[in-house]
Copies of this chain bind each other. A is one copy, B any other.
């Protein structure tokens, strides 16, 4: 492999052969190609583009840089879901046990929160005792035993992705859809799954700020999954407002528990049931996604989904009593935010990015990768887009140990609400991407 020729090929806008991309990633992972050559290639790719074929090759190279978990000993079609991240996104916590309750094994590997979006691991660990650091054997065994397991990334999975991401982070090559897509897919495909559902968010609270970018990301993700032989459905969803009412680790887990108990939590229940329908269909337990959604609603109503969640929490060492009675869990001092003078009328928007930043200040998130989070900190939204508000009405509650910060944070929180311009947010579910040949239940 001549790395300079490879760089020049991409620089001049030519397609690079999959084998060459794999050789480059392999050599980089081994430390045989210097970072300055890889960063030049990354920038050339960023500005010249990568085709689906090249993106798939990149994904495959990163996937095979580490261990690809083998779950063939667990019967059934294993299905996972991944979200590109948003504010108030507690979907996974309700979704995984729900789908497992339908008989579809769900092996889920999640991340921690960084920046303005939260992470599923932090939310699960807000349940006292809940362990997410299972090893591969424990992961496989629990999946076989109870049909669901939720853990954190292990170092054996896709080490090339980790190394490449670190280089992208310092060379201005992060925000490029083929790189983002291959990073996500290499980790997901390494989990040993048979099919995948993706929640690709767009909007002010998402990584993708424009709908067009999110559409391209959804298409690219679905194309890679399909190309790789793993049926992949991608939903494009709206993240121009926080999802649901709660933002913060324990607060979100509580909201997910409410959904699991059959409560109709606006937006959250809808999204959980829709994505569960896809997973149940891909897992071969429903004839269509719609039938899967109906099945999911029934499992929420019947209490079967909640029972599966209790089983999951018990299996991973969590305190079941707080799950069964969330009010038992210690709480943080609360400060109520009232609508200021100018805020009157129907709420048209709540800036999720601003709320995500405020949640960090309250203690719910981290600014650097190794900071600890306060599991009980966060905020509760009392008025959502479409609700009528007038000055003095409570619009939000802040939960925090940092009483010194509540003054300025209350002001910032109130400023995130708007009654001006436009209408309340559009549909949560924007579009569905599906290019596979999966034809339903077996």
Taking Cβ atoms with an 8 Å cutoff, the residues of A that contact B are 3-5, 7-8, 11, 34-40, 42-44, 46-48, 167, 169-173
Contact = CB atoms under 8 A, between A and B. Distances in A.
A170 B172 CA distance: 20
Q: Which of A38, A170, A171 has the most CB of B within 10 A?
A: A171
Contacts of A7: 43, 171-172
A170 B7 CA distance: 9
Contact of A11 (B167, B169, B172): B172
Contact of A4 (B4, B5, B34, B170): B170
Contacts of A48: 47
Contact of A35 (B5, B36, B43, B169): B36
Given A43-B40, A44-B47, A172 B35 contact: no
Q: How many copies does the complex hold?
A: 2
A44 B172 contact: yes
Contacts of A4: 169-172
A172 B43 contact: no
A8 B43 contact: no
A180 to B, nearest CB: 16
B37 A171 contact: yes
A269 to B, nearest CB: 40
Contacts of A42: 40
Chain A binding surface, main DSSP class: helix
A84 to B, nearest CB: 21
15 contacts: A4-B171, A7-B43, A8-B172, A11-B47, A34-B170, A36-B36, A36-B167, A36-B170, A36-B171, A37-B170, A39-B40, A40-B43, A40-B171, A43-B47, A44-B47
Contacts of A8: 172
Contacts of A35: 34-36
Nearest to A5: B172
Given A36-B36, A40-B172, A40-B173, 16 more contacts: A3-B170, A4-B172, A7-B172, A8-B172, A11-B47, A34-B35, A36-B38, A36-B39, A36-B167, A36-B170, A37-B170, A39-B40, A39-B43, A40-B40, A40-B42, A40-B43
A167 B34 CA distance: 11
Contacts of A43: 7, 11, 39-40, 43-44, 47
Contacts of A47: 11, 43-44, 47-48
Contacts of A3: 170
Nearest to A171: B40
A36 B169 CA distance: 11
7 closest pairs, A vs B, by CB?
A7-B172, A40-B171, A43-B43, A35-B36, A36-B39, A8-B172, A39-B40
